[in-house]
Amino acid sequence: MTDTTAEHALTLDHVAFQWGGQGAFGLNVADFGIRRGERVLLLGESGSGKSTLLSLICGINAPQRGTIRIDGTEMTQMRPTVRDRFRAEKIGIVFQQFNLLPYASPMDNILLPLRFAPQRRARVSDATGAAFALTDALGLSRSAMASVTADRLSVGQQQRVAVARALIGAPSLIIADEPTSALDAGSQASFLDLLFAQCTSAGSTLLMVSHDERLAPRFDRSVRMEDIATLTREVAA
């Protein structure tokens, strides 16, 4: 797969990671990749190493062996501060819930990543306008956007603000960690529609993590955690 990395938004190659400390587990990913513009669902139960995998992809933690490339750029060898900057530029993240700084306004929450990502900032000439374009498209009312603090919004509204934050400045990879689990079934479908539409219009690749297999048909491809990763658990001495 190394010869086709240029077409890939993400590749993991013989990645091995071991948490420090006693009884900690390790994660090995031999070969995993996502092509540009692809929408991939990663299925896994809790404890399957999803969080660890995401923190490796986001460059919060660095693997002991192997390479991780985003947009063809190898990032495991970067210094931590450079990786932080790289993450800000390349990746937008949506969590399950509690995505926002509760005391900040929705607008400040959306604009926050631009503070750490000058290239993303340069891609939007009018940051506030771009944010409103996203929130309008996501069906967030301007009155909700005018809220003084983000914690006054409903959970559904907060998730949309989180999507706008992930998408602003069009990063190449969007990582969504169970973004719909806090929503009711009706909102889940419409939330996914909006997420897909905005990823497409931003040209971003989507990696969504979930335990809900029913979502699989809506994605280009779904992958099971156990098919790509092996867990090693260190036996306590």
Binding site for other proteins (CB under 8 A): 51, 54-55, 58, 60-61, 80-81, 84-85, 87-89, 93, 95-96, 98-105, 108, 111-113, 115-117, 149, 165
- Least distance to other proteins from the beta carbon of 3, Å? 30
Q: Which is nearer to other proteins, 6 or 125 (CB)?
A: 125
Dihedral of the alpha carbons of 52, 54, 57, 63, in degrees to the nearest 10: 0
Residue 231 DSSP SS3: strand
- Least distance to other proteins from the beta carbon of 139, Å? 23
Tokens read off for 174 = 């969007």
Distance CA 70, CA 134 (A): 24
- Least distance to other proteins from the beta carbon of 58, Å? 6
Q: Which is nearer to other proteins, 69 or 87 (CB)?
A: 87
215 secondary structure, DSSP code: G
Q: Which is nearer to other proteins, 82 or 189 (CB)?
A: 82
- Least distance to other proteins from the beta carbon of 60, Å? 4
Distance CA 219, CA 104 (A): 33
- Least distance to other proteins from the beta carbon of 68, Å? 15
Please give the distance of CA 206 from its chain centroid, rounded to a whole number.
Answer: 7
Q: Which is nearer to other proteins, 30 or 82 (CB)?
A: 82
Q: Which is nearer to other proteins, 102 or 203 (CB)?
A: 102
- Output the CA torsion sign for 130, 120, 177, 217: positive
Q: Which is nearer to other proteins, 43 or 54 (CB)?
A: 54
- Least distance to other proteins from the beta carbon of 108, Å? 6
**Number of alpha carbons in the 13 Å side-chain half-sphere of residue 103:** 0
Task: Beginning with the edge strand found earlier in the chain, give each strand of the sheet holding 173-177 in spatial order.
Answer: 91-94, 173-177, 205-210, 39-43, 221-224
